[in-house]
Amino acid sequence: MEPGHTIPILGKGYVRYIDHLGSDLRIVESARISYKSPSKGVDQDKKLLTYLYKHRHTSPFEQCSITYNIKMPIFIMRQFVRHRTFRLNEWSARYSELADEFYIPTQWRAADAKNKQGSQASGNLDHAKITKEVEAFHEKAYATYQNLLQQGVARELARAVLPVSIFTEVYVNCDLHNLLHFLHLREDDHAQLEIREMAAAMRTVAEQLYPWTFEAYHKFRLGVTDRPTPA
């Protein structure tokens, strides 16, 4: 995968691959430090990696990491930042102005009938009307922001009027074990659709870098639904 490879998400957002450390073989190699047993060839190496994943020997997967550049709306960033092992730098709205770019879903979703925090597709929503209203509001919000800046208000205060639908940007380095944990939680049916889209793009990058690991992940993790719909 070429550095700079970019996957568009959420309208004006993206997940961009910057760099990575290690490989499936690195995971095996670091595990062999524990076992003090030399490699017996590629088939055995893959078997060992699968064994490690299946039996939750998680530390060798921390030896790998991926650096992404991600552009996402603030309300998704607020979920993303809760993953405390991720190392990140974010666009500072104290230091520079945020751009006039907001997230608008392609399809508005209604409140979920069963899951109080969720959403579902709905034929009852007037999508065009809602989009128009929200776009008008975004315009108003950005104009208010600009107006404050022009009156001389400090950036750190003017930005307070910006809605959480506005895009921000991060540089982030995630170790592979914690990335898998993130994917498990954020590609789950209960996660908000927007972060699922972002997580899927992050996974698309990661799968090309660590194919054995993701083969194990899909086989042993996604099959197990341990976060069922609450009654």
**Residues designated catalytic:** 186
Q: How far is the CB of 214 from a second copy (least distance, A)?
A: 19
- Does 208 bind a second copy (CB under 8 A)? Our answer is no
How many Å apart are CA 150 and CA 146, to the nearest integer? 6
- What is the torsional sign of CA 138, 144, 147, 151? negative
Q: Which is nearer to a second copy, 63 or 213 (CB)?
A: 63
Contact indicator for 102, 163 with CB cutoff of 8 Å = yes
Give kind and range of the element (H or E) at residue 19.
strand 13-21
Closest CA to 198 of 4, 16, 1: 16
Q: Which is nearer to a second copy, 71 or 203 (CB)?
A: 71
Interface segment toward a second copy; rule CB under 8 A; list 38-46, 81-89, 199-207, 209-217: 81-89
With CB under 8 A, what is the number of residues at the site for a second copy? 91
Q: How far is the CB of 167 from a second copy (least distance, A)?
A: 11
C-alpha torsion angle, residues 63, 210, 84, 172 (rounded to 10): 100
Instruction: State which of positions 27-56 bind a second copy (CB under 8 A).
Output: 29-31, 33-37, 51, 55-56
Q: Which one among 45, 175, 187, 197 touches a second copy, defined by CB under 8 A?
A: 175
